[in-house]
Amino acid sequence: MKRLWAVACAVIGLLLVTGCGTPQRPTDSPSGTSSRQAGPQVESQTQVDPKLYAVCSAIYRGVEQALAENRNESFDTELQSVQAIGSSAPPNSPNGELFADAQQVVALCDAYTGEGAPAKVYNELQDSLRTLKQALDRYHAMVPRS
């Protein structure tokens, strides 16, 4: 059963690495939006959900530490705890971007720790960690203070 799970994770990771099933971030392009549509969009671009940010930050630190200590650890539960927040956010919003980046890191971490993972997955995981760290740094100031 463990071997089947590892193979399934490796396949999912490879699909994500090759671009299949990877959430694509649309580019911000000027369009004829009415003022009614612009209000919520502006708000979603200036607010970061504190729980989502905290979980993404914990995933970043946890994966980085697991790699440094060569531990096999799963972060699926943490990601699932913010699934509703992240999946309902527009892809080009800070919440959507953070969730997509964390989702990519978790999938690649699962693929990397799975049995028979190709060596290039490690480099792709490092790149994804860098991308998540950049997003965390970029949106830190947008997290509401309690």
- Domains of the chain with bracketed CATH: 50-140 (1.20.120)
Give the per-residue pLDDT at 16. Answer: 47
What lies within 8 Å, CB to CB, of 58 at 6+ separation is 78
Give the per-residue pLDDT at 31. Answer: 39
Give the per-residue pLDDT at 106. Answer: 96
How high does pLDDT run on average in the chain? 78
Give the per-residue pLDDT at 97. Answer: 96
Q: Which residue has the tokens 């940010």?
A: 53
Lowest-pLDDT range of 43-47, 62-66, 93-97: 43-47
> Rounded to a whole number, what is the largest CA-CA distance in the chain?
54
